[in-house]
Amino acid sequence: MSKDLIDVLVPIPLLERFSYKLPEELKKKNLERGMRIKIPFGNRLLVGIFWNYSDPSRNNRSSYKFIKEVIDETSLLEKKLLNLAEWASRYYHYPLGEVITYFFPPSLRKGKKAKFKESTFWQVTEKGDFIDLSGLGRAPNQRKGLELLREKGDLSQHSLKAFGVSRVSLNHLHNKGLVKKRSQEQFPVYSPEIQYSYKKLLTSEQKEAVKTISGAKGDNKIFLLNGVTGSGKTEVYLRCIKELVQKGKQALVLIPEIGLAPQAENRFKELFGDRVASFHSAKNERERLDVWLGAQKGLYDIVIGTRSSVFIPMKKLGIIIVDEEHDVSFKQSDRFRYSARDVALYRAKLYKVPVLLASATPSVESMQNALKGKYKLLNLKERATGADLPTFFPLDLKGKLLKEGFSDELLEAVKVELKKKNQVLIFLNRRGYASSLICKSCGWVSCCNRCDAHMTVHSNPSQLHCHHCENKKPLPSACPSCLDREFESFGLGTERVESYLRKKFKNYPVLRIDSDTTRQKESFKNYLEIIAEGDPLILIGTQMLAKGHHFPNVTLVGILDADSGLFSADFRGSERVAQLITQVSGRAGREKKPGKVVLQTYCSEHPQMEELLKGNYGTFIEKIIEERASANVPPFSYQVKLQAESFNGLISKDFLNSCLEHINNSKLITKDIRLVGPLPSLMEKKSGMFRWEVNLFSKSRKPLHKLIDNLQTFLYQSKQTRQVRWSIDVDPISTI
């Protein structure tokens, strides 16, 4: 093959690969697939990825641009990772040039060198060794620097600073030719021997799980660890990883949310010390690059990270663990719509390593895979601390008078727990003060003019806020429709519950924890510290509080509105409610004191609700699985959602119709494929755009993907796409 032209992946959402010319001096170099190169693109300079030398017969353009620079000496991504990228691009139908960028941390995407943080070291030159120090008499700091360097030979800028020698002085010495400097990469350091001083005795269920998982030597086995809240799943991860680390392997641990990172990191550090590193968006670019390089070179044994960490290179990967595998945040909801859990499964298959999916509330699809025998199911039915699971008290609200959403019974229960010096958690998955503002005389409602949604009333600062498009408006002083001035706030939000509880329980702290109160970097951590002190208090929170946290002193969880989401038009709605309720309930009574959960509901006779109200997530999920089977929806069929949005709903609809026409003409529809739509999306108007969708369901994956492949080519070529924004979502999970 001639080495004149190369094919390059360019980080833009287009399907084609672009060809570039190699300058003469680079033709001798052996380029490897995956190496980063700088290329001119339009009037910009981009970082692309070398893919292969071009096949000259395929390239018929007359002029090509020269690449500017080859950044890497070798490819930073090994072959299996490049295969993973190709697979993900094919499976999620997203351009490879964009997909491959997910494998690099931000600074490498920008073209920076793949090096650890560098520090400067100083030494004296020959001239500096012989010069008479009195010549520096008027520059005492320089003199001190030179003296120190003569004495010690070689010192880092950092240690010189500790001796009081400034960088300015060193630069002066440098300019005089008396000292020289060099840069050195700071490789991560850790104690060569791990001191496992850790002596928690495993419960028999934990032991059994560890034994089974550790038995999967070098096999691509998939385990589903279904362990009730507080059953010590983390302990199981730690032990499995310990065995692997002793054999020189690495573990990749995926967690759903950045808020859980510090807690998880601390638990792992207790056992593994500085061999643990974490990777998430709260780290700066420098830190992320260092962790990435450490993982890639096999210098960290354990990497804990959020969604995108599933792409981090690991030199000696031995296991992938997906904590809270059911969590929706593992799925990216825009652009490259991948599921980190599913990518993890494929990655483990490529690397022939086991995967451990874990949750107290496994997703319907994983549960179904376990029932089918595709995954090995491991149950932890008891709490590890010996504590009982909380007792559930369903509270039928029919005919009851509520005060700001609270029944007398729930208020009484709160009072009793606080008196016993316990902590209470009130769960409401709606932030803000009230869900809408209504005019008392004409019934005007605060709707968002850009979305099919009400604007939420917020009290601090006082304003209307659309949670779907971030549209904000001041509260109206008069009704825009009838000019009357009397309004009613309708529906409960966490701010409203907070202000009510503050008045009601004056002697106790009330902490509201939702994305409004935890926007600042450290605030969530501060809240967790207050809770950890253990004094009686009331927590009010959204789903942020439901996930994974261990609050030993919370003995009562009050769920204000257990029904919300149950009647959603989304067939996944009830699964989500069940997960949330079970997870948040699991925060109660995790240590010595028994826990109680009070669930306020209007539908205690609802057949699904019955199981949930008794705390039987397992039975609930079995019922959902039956329902899904009879409706032929995932996991009993594969789904792809094609969505189009534009300033006019008719354009979106027409566009989808032309896609359907293309699909029909392609003759790729088999009898297993079912098409639904075009229909307006559940929330048709969002951020001023009108969204329509077509859903494709298929009993088998292959014909569906073949059809979407064909459609994808059409979509990238279609002239109409200038008027619409479209997306392909494989295995979608959200309907909004």
Q: What DSSP element (H or E) covers 111?
A: none
Q: Closer CB to Zn ion, residue 40 or residue 688? A: 688
Q: Which does 201 bind (CB under 5 to 8 A by kind): Zn ion, ligand ADP, none?
A: ligand ADP
Pick the closer one to ligand ADP by CB: 311 or 427.
427
Q: Which residue number is nearest to ligand ADP in terms of Cβ?
A: 232
**Residues 6 or more apart whose Cβ sits within 8 Å of residue 128:** 146, 149, 150, 173, 177, 178, 179
Residue 124: burial class (beta carbons within 10 Å; 0-12, 13-18, 19+): buried
Tokens at 220, concatenated? 């691509």
CA atoms within 13 A on the CB side of 362: 27
Residue corresponding to tokens 């700066």: 284
Per CB under 6 A, contacts with ligand ADP among 345-404 are: 384-385
Among 19, 142, 203, 698, binds ligand ADP (CB under 6 A): 203
Rule CB under 6 A: which of 152-191 touch ligand ADP? none
CA pair distance 716, 694, nearest whole angstrom: 17
Q: How far is the CB of 449 from Zn ion (least distance, A)?
A: 8
Distance between CA 585 and CA 579 in Å, rounded? 10
Of residues 169, 231, 407, 582, which one binds ligand ADP by CB under 6 A?
A: 231
Region binding Zn ion by CB under 5 A among candidate stretches 33-41, 73-81, 446-454, 717-725: 446-454
Q: Does 226 bind ligand ADP (CB under 6 A)?
A: no
Name the pairing type of β-strands 222-227 and 355-359. parallel
CB closer to ligand ADP, 209 vs 397: 209
What is the contact mask toward ligand ADP in residues 300 to 339, using x (rule: CB under 6 A)? ----------------------------------------
Strands (E) in 234-354, as ranges, are 250-254, 276-279, 302-305, 317-323
The phi and psi torsions of 161 (rounded to 5 degrees) equal -65, -40
Of the ranges 153-161, 224-232, 244-252, 602-610, which one interacts with ligand ADP (CB under 6 A)? 224-232
Our finding on whether 444 is near Zn ion (CB under 5 A) is yes
Among 235, 290, 495, 498, contact with ligand ADP (rule: CB under 6 A): 235
Q: What, of ligand ADP, Zn ion, none, does residue 448 touch, CB below 5 to 8 Å by kind?
A: Zn ion
State the nearest-atom distance from the C-beta of 482 to Zn ion, in Å.
3
> Measured from the CB atom, is 434 or 448 closer to Zn ion?
448
The length of the chain is: 736
> How far apart (Å, rounded) are the C-alpha atoms in residues 567 and 223?
32
Instruction: Give which of Zn ion, ligand ADP, none residue 442 binds (C-beta under 5 to 8 Å, depending on kind).
Output: Zn ion
Smallest distance from Zn ion to CB 480, Å? 8
Place of tokens 């691009």: 89
Q: Which entry of Zn ion, ligand ADP, none binds 230, CB below 5 to 8 A by partner kind?
A: ligand ADP
Cβ proximity of 703 and 725 under 8 Å: no
Query: Is residue 150 involved in binding Zn ion (CB under 5 A)?
Result: no
Of 320, 301, 115, nearest to 213 (Cα)?
Answer: 320
Alpha helices in 442-596 (DSSP H): 494-504, 523-533, 573-585
Backbone angles phi, psi at 159, to 5 degrees: -75, -30
Q: For residues 341 and 348, what is the distance between their CA atoms, to the nearest angstrom?
A: 11
Q: Which stretch binds Zn ion (CB under 5 A): 332-340, 470-478, 485-493, 651-659?
A: 470-478
At 418 the three-state DSSP class reads: helix
Rule CB under 6 A: say whether 207 interacts with ligand ADP: no
Residue 325 or 731 having the CB closest to ligand ADP: 325
For ligand ADP, the binding residue among 93, 233, 288, 347 (CB under 6 A) is 233
Instruction: Rank residues 149 and 448 by Cβ distance to Zn ion and give the closer one.
Output: 448
One residue of 19, 101, 226, 234 binding ligand ADP per CB under 6 A? 234
Residue 310 CA to chain centroid, in angstroms?
10
In 3D space, the residue among 497, 500, 475 whose CA is nearest the CA of residue 430 turns out to be 497
Nearest approach, Cβ of residue 456 and Zn ion (Å)? 10
Q: Which of residues 538-557 bind ligand ADP (CB under 6 A)?
A: 550
Please select the residue that binds ligand ADP; options are 48, 105, 230, 677, rule is CB under 6 A. Answer: 230
Rounded to whole angstroms, the Cα distance separating 707 from 4 reads: 36
Decide: 688 and 676 in contact? Cβ < 8 Å.
Answer: no
Return the number of the residue (112 or 450) whose C-beta is nearest Zn ion. 450
Name the strands in the sheet holding 538-541, side by side, starting at the edge strand that comes first in the sequence.
Answer: 391-396, 596-601, 554-559, 423-427, 538-541, 510-513
The distance of closest approach from Cβ of residue 575 to ligand ADP in the complex, given in angstroms and rounded to an integer, is: 20
Site membership for ligand ADP, residue 405 (CB under 6 A): no
Residue closer to ligand ADP by CB (options 199, 667) is 199
At 236, phi and psi to the nearest 5? -65, -45
Number of H helices, E strands in the chain: 21, 30
202 touches ligand ADP (CB under 6 A): yes
Residue 466 interacts with Zn ion (CB under 5 A): yes or no:
yes
CA–CA separation, 636 and 629 (whole Å): 6
User: Measured from the CB atom, is 434 or 597 closer to Zn ion?
Assistant: 434
Residue ranges binding Zn ion (CB under 5 A): 439, 442, 444, 448, 450-451, 466, 468-469, 471, 479, 481-482, 484
**Which residues of the shown chain bind ligand ADP in the complex (CB under 6 A)?**
200-203, 206, 227, 229-235, 384-385, 550
